[in-house]
Structure 1
């Protein structure tokens, strides 16, 4: 009996990109915790003309096939802005990445990783980080803990076997990212309530909603704080104008004024918190397709979302305040106000905060203070080529 041969090839055609996107629908069809992405969004991610990240990056996609059937996929990519980073903070000169990794079995995984590494070597890279799919701002890391419940919006899912297959290819963990969950229907402990009440009485502090009618202006305010607050973080790569435009288009439908707050000190914006209703709850039943009726269901949901979970993907405080007690006070005030709005206006009962770097002492301390529990862990791996 002949054994089917495995082949891995680079792709570029529209038809192959569609096959690349379709593979997870086959691999995860029996996984109740995998959330099928909208195929149009997934296709846009890997299409240079539709993803602003490609304005400073390049990528090669690979498909693994056995007897004409797709059994695996991977991307190899290089971000020119990441190449300029200090290696101690993540990327740096000569560092490429792999991502969008899925495989049916260990042999397929090995062949895909070899292909990605070969392309990166050919581009002059001598080190690789992954999986990062495809920007650090999209879905970084491989899920290694928390397979028993679905991911929230903009978080990844994976098969438990992937970790072993990646480690077998010579990779080791270089960074852990975590997400925290909490019951947002419960009150904070009395000490935090007093800290928040003190802040509310402070005339120098103002917590305000964003104004969606001034979307670009508000986005610029938040971005200025973000770039300052996160600039020393491991893996930080500044968002470029094309990427910011893309993010605006994608997120604007799920931006609600009372779920994004900006903290001002003496009239100056110094902190922010972005919260998103978990869109995955709405798109999971659509099975990746907006047509024929999915678009109508989604539009109806977007008018007034009712969700179980709210996700906090981003929050930050200006660096000049980060070592002060005021920084944590502002964070607690932001969390309290958005927590209250989430429960009262959207019916939410659960919050998820993250991802957060394992060595981000400030954010991890805040999560612990509000009685969060780690619900998912993601690893980024590294290898010298």
Structure 2
């Protein structure tokens, strides 16, 4: 039997899904454990998502894998507890509480650090449910010695960090969260304040970049020290290792940075390989040394919206065809990086522009893509913000990671 945690707060009405009201009652919170608990946790999240405008149904099997201790390598360095809230026997919300042990080792000035726990996978029908869930997550973290909580982060900082507060009017791209507007009020009403804002940038990739960018790119192309090449799928494992090494070095000083483990990279690389097209991914070399990379993924949410997040009975046919040639799909750049020793140099910007330009042309010419999205990007990452502004992209989605001291 799961231990039941009864919240003493009682409300006059609850929300059925995100709409109709039902009689109020005590809120009971139960840990979600084992196979049945994880399935209930995921299915409740899917129920909430189905009622949010522009949300895209994801593959249930993928969502279950993310919360499975034996299938998601994040659990190898994290303590995690899932909770489901019930009212009158009906599930009305969910939350995860977790401690990333690698994040505890990060300097506090970089946003994580000792005493920092997290919550994620947050869904709630109303303020009373939200308060009960957040209190439960905080109590769990406090009992384990945490003094501060960040969230929502579901669950690794590399997965879906932050709450969507701007951009609910259009569908998210691959691996980006999508949340109803009222969740921000639920969280701030419980005493949370913004810790960091993350932005994504929308870009018309059917158009040439501004003249300044084209001049910078041409200058780089004439430089014999620079080589920008496609990712080699024949040596996929070694290419992933190169990207991991650059990534952990390039992002090491960023707010919220937690190093990716080899197990996480291997797992993610395997999962994403069907989406990796060499023409859309680049590694830049300086004097023969890999010093920068840019990854671009076709937006499989385009497909999932049409198949309603299902592979069967006929979705797999569409999926196979789409994976071979995702013609017309939007393109997202989830990761890019330049070695830290080149940061704040003209060369760093030049390499970035060269990779972006080559990928833009491939996406437009070979895949007939019209739209790209870059991010997420930290609001105060001046180098990346400057690049995004220079190529005439615009902020289309904003996420907030909130914090509270326990």
**Residue 301 of structure 1, CA deviation:** 1.1
Counterpart of 2:403 in structure 1 is 382
| Cα distance in 2, alignment partners of residues 194 and 140 from structure 1 | 36
| Cα distance in 1, alignment partners of residues 214 and 106 from structure 2 | 40
**Residue 285 of structure 1, CA deviation:** 2.5
Q: Could you state the TM-score of these two structures normalised by the residue count of structure 2?
A: 0.93
Query: Which structure 2 segments of 5+ residues have no match?
Result: 1-11, 13-22
Q: Could you state the TM-score of these two structures normalised by the residue count of structure 1?
A: 0.98
**Residue 190 of structure 1, CA deviation:** 1.3
Match of 1:50, SS state, is coil
Match of 2:383, SS state, is helix
Counterpart of 2:64 in structure 1 is 43
1:201 aligns with 2:218: no
1:298 aligns with 2:319: yes
**Residue 325 of structure 1, CA deviation:** 0.8
1:10 aligns with 2:20: no
**Residue 135 of structure 1, CA deviation:** 0.1
Higher relative contact order (CA 8 A, sep 6+): 1
**Deviation by residue 1:33-59 (Cα, 9 ceiling, x = unmatched):** 101111000000001001001010010
| Cα distance in 1, alignment partners of residues 329 and 323 from structure 2 | 14
Matched ranges for 1:253-292 at <5 A: 253-292=274-313
Matched ranges for 1:332-371 at <5 A: 332-371=353-392
CA contact (8 A) 2:377 2:385 kept: yes
CA contact (8 A) 2:244 2:265 kept: no
Matched ranges for 1:21-100 at <5 A: 21-100=42-121
CA contact (8 A) 2:59 2:310 kept: yes
> What is the alpha-carbon root mean square deviation over aligned residues?
1.2
CA contact (8 A) 1:278 1:307 kept: no
**Deviation by residue 1:64-93 (Cα, 9 ceiling, x = unmatched):** 112222110000000110011111101111
1:123 aligns with 2:155: no
CA contact (8 A) 1:143 1:376 kept: yes
Match of 2:198, SS state, is strand
Counterpart of 1:155 in structure 2 is 176
CA contact (8 A) 2:281 2:359 kept: yes
**Deviation by residue 1:256-293 (Cα, 9 ceiling, x = unmatched):** 11111011111111111100000111112233332222
| Cα distance in 1, alignment partners of residues 286 and 219 from structure 2 | 14
Which sits farther off after the overlay, 21-30 or 105-114? 21-30
1:173 aligns with 2:210: no
**Residue 202 of structure 1, CA deviation:** 1.1
CA contact (8 A) 1:19 1:70 kept: no
Say how many residue pairs are matched.
385
Counterpart of 1:308 in structure 2 is 329
Query: Which structure 1 segments of 5+ residues have no match?
Result: none
| Cα distance in 2, alignment partners of residues 286 and 6 from structure 1 | 36
CA contact (8 A) 1:205 1:264 kept: yes
